[in-house]
Every structure is written in C-alpha cells, then in structure tokens.
Amino acid sequence: MTMKNIILGVDKDSSGGAAAIAAEFAKRLDAHVTVVHFGSRASLGDDAVAEVVKSLEQSGVAFDIRLEQPTVGATITDSFVNMADAIHADLIVLGSRGRPAPVASLFGSVSREVVRTAHVPVLIVRDAAQQRGLTARLLLVVTQETLGSTEPDAAFELARGLGARVTILHVHGLLEDAVEDLLRVPTTRRPDHIANRLLAKFGAAGIEANLVIADNHDGLASEITRAAHDAGCDLIVIPAGTSDVAERWVLGTVDEEVARRSDSPVLVAPPTDSARTGPGDR
C-alpha cells in the first residue's frame, strides 16, 4: 500500500484542521491532494476556499480543486466515495464536528457514512487537531478486526513515510482468553499474537515501536483514548468495525467514539475484502 493520492473533502462545516493535516501528509508522503466540494462555490464560501488553498500553497504540495455536483439519484456520501474511486485515491481526509452518535443518526454525518462505505483508509480530523504539530507517534489499535483489515499496511506506510514511532495497543477483554478458548480460536488469529507479530514487523523495518496491553475496564473507546493520551500519540489508527443497531444509536462504533473524544486525528482502515482493487491499486 502506498499513499500518493489524497482526496480532501471540504464543506462549510468542515474542521479547519483537515486541510492542514492533508497538506502535512502530502508533503511528507510526496503525495498529491485533490480538494473536492459537492455543490457550488457559493455554497462553500469564498473564505473556506481561500483557507484551504492557502494551507496547501504554504506547504508547497501539488493539488487541484474540484467543485462537483452530486451524482443524480446519489447521496453526497455515495458521490464522494465514487469520486475517490474514480481518481484512485489512496487516502480520504475529512473534517468532523464530532457530534454524538444520536445526533449524527438524526441529522446525518457525511464523515460517518464515508467511513462505512469507503474502499480506502479515511482520516477523520477534528478542530482540535489544527493546533497539533507534525505527527511523531501513532497509536495502532489491534482488535478482532485487525487480521481482516488493511489497518496494518496503512499503519506501516504512515509510520515509514511520516518517520513516526508506533505504539501498538491491544485492549484485553476481561473474558477474552476464556472466550477464545471456548470458541477454539487459533493462536494466529488472536489479537495478542497479532500485536506481537506487528511489533516484530516494525522492528525488522527499523521503525521504533512498543507494545501496550491494557485491560478493558471503562470500554474500548475510553481505553484507546486514554492510551493515546498517555503515550503522547498524535495519530490513531484503528480498523473499521461494526456494532448492533442499539449500540450504534447510543454510542456509535468504536472508531466514531474515539474520533469524538480524542484531539488526535483518527484513521479508520477498511476491511481487506472491501478495499479497492484493480488498475488504481499501487
């Protein structure tokens, strides 16, 4: 996996930090940025356009701006994901207002829906991230979904490209071992084994990494947010996950809740079976 083509979604409510983060990533990964807004320039606002352009110009990265109309019969989310596929994007960057799940469920959230349907990693940036410096340490969250996710490849590419150190986190469930034994989960598919394997992979590549095992006392989202803060991580990488309808309504998925609570940008990696395939892959 490489990240040479970044698509930055912009609207009047976007986080001001998203453009800055996209610019930083593009500069350090030697990538191109495509800025996309669905609607007219008037609906976006001249000030918002100028802010994005200024941030990208100051960084000296290559970029272009596309003002598009939604595809007839499609939602903004569908149109955006289709655009990302059409230009063979490797990374999507979106700003977020960090609304709680019930509010997002009622009024909609483009970033939330893009995370669920995108075929490439999605980086969610809240306003607080605007004040942070260059990415120096990323938190790689290992869960049951990691093995079938593009997350390890995305984290490896980012750590290498950004020159970042890595903290690998496995939040150990209170009954995790007993459940895995009961279900006869093979050792190679268990999160603790995957975490140690990733630690060895980063070390072999000369990337500084350490492993943290945390007990799940306060919920997965709380433990991830706490670990990111304690380790001084400024980027969180997590596999896309699912939850039942009731849980999603109240709390949202784990990646949503982490993005809402943390000041750090959160990168959500899609499952390998939904990742983009074809001529656009590199």
pLDDT at residue 105, rounded to an integer = 40
- The set of residues, in sequence order, having a beta carbon less than 8 Å from that of 72 and lying 6+ positions away, is none
Evaluate if residue 229 carries a pLDDT over 70. Answer: yes
Dihedral pair phi/psi, residue 89, rounded to 5°? -65, 145
Percent of the chain with pLDDT strictly greater than 70: 80
Q: What percent of the chain has pLDDT over 90?
A: 45
Token couple for 258: 């982490």
What are the structural domains of the chain? 5-130 (3.40.50.620), 132-274 (3.40.50.620)
Q: Which among 172, 170, 185, 158 has a CA at the least distance from the CA of 269?
A: 158
pLDDT, tens digit, 9 for 90 and up, residues 130-153: 455 667 999 999 988 899 999 999
Which of 52-56, 119-123, 238-242 has the highest average model confidence (pLDDT)? 119-123
Cα–Cα distance for residue pair 56/46, rounded to 1 Å: 16
pLDDT tens across 46-84, in order?
566 677 888 888 889 999 988 887 777 778 889 899 999
